[in-house]
Amino acid sequence: MMAAVKTILLVEDNANDVELTLAALQDSNVSNAVDVARDGAEALDYLHRRGPWSGRTSEAPVVVLLDLKMPKVDGLEVLREMKATPALRHVPVVMLTSSREESDLVRSYALGANAYVVKPVDFQKFFESVQQLGVFWALINEPAPAATPNPEEKP
């Protein structure tokens, strides 16, 4: 059973947010390993298994918790590329961000985000939100089989 447990990918440039998110997930029932990418470029390397992550052997993550605003490549670009890549398009992506800006919401969903969560300022609420996310996506949600064919192949 343990070998089948997939990782959670957290894409977050802010070290404090990384630590708080990890603390929240640790405190929950979610036992999945959490890999952290510190910006969009690293996240794409991780997902494509290249650069520092070329030796990664784990399966595609069970969920990607994706921050919006990051240096180099931002969250929306990571999302766009994931949804354009057949091997990654079924990986659930949760936008986890400080922005409640309507345009960010609209663009995220337009690019195929599976969920959009605004990080609450309140510690307790933040903790609860992250834990619920972890539980839902890692435990409750049934991921797509690894070899799911693409319904419409892009020409």
Half-sphere exposure of residue 110: CA atoms within 13 angstroms, side-chain side: 8
Q: Which C-beta is closer to another protein: that of 121 or that of 147?
A: 121
Site string for another protein, 75-114 (x = CB under 8 A): -----------------------xxxxx------------
Find the part of the chain contacting another protein (CB under 8 A) among 52-60, 70-78, 84-92, 118-126. Answer: 118-126
Please tell me the count of residues contacting another protein according to CB under 8 A.
19
Q: How many Å apart are CA 48 and CA 35, to the nearest integer?
A: 14
For the chain, state the CA radius of gyration: 15
Q: Should residue 22 be labelled a site residue for another protein when binding is judged by CB under 8 A?
A: no
Q: Should residue 137 be labelled a site residue for another protein when binding is judged by CB under 8 A?
A: no
Q: Should residue 54 be labelled a site residue for another protein when binding is judged by CB under 8 A?
A: no
63-66 and 115-118 as β-strands: parallel, antiparallel, unpaired? Answer: unpaired
Q: Which C-beta is closer to another protein: that of 16 or that of 57?
A: 16
8-11 and 115-118 as β-strands: parallel, antiparallel, unpaired? Answer: unpaired
Q: Least CB distance from residue 47 to another protein, whole Å?
A: 25
Q: Least CB distance from residue 69 to another protein, whole Å?
A: 8
Q: Should residue 153 be labelled a site residue for another protein when binding is judged by CB under 8 A?
A: no
b/e map 33-64, b = 16+ CB within 10 Å: ebbbbbbbbbbbbbbbeeeebeeeeeebbbbb
The pair of three-digit structure tokens given for residue 63, joined into one six-digit string: 């969920």
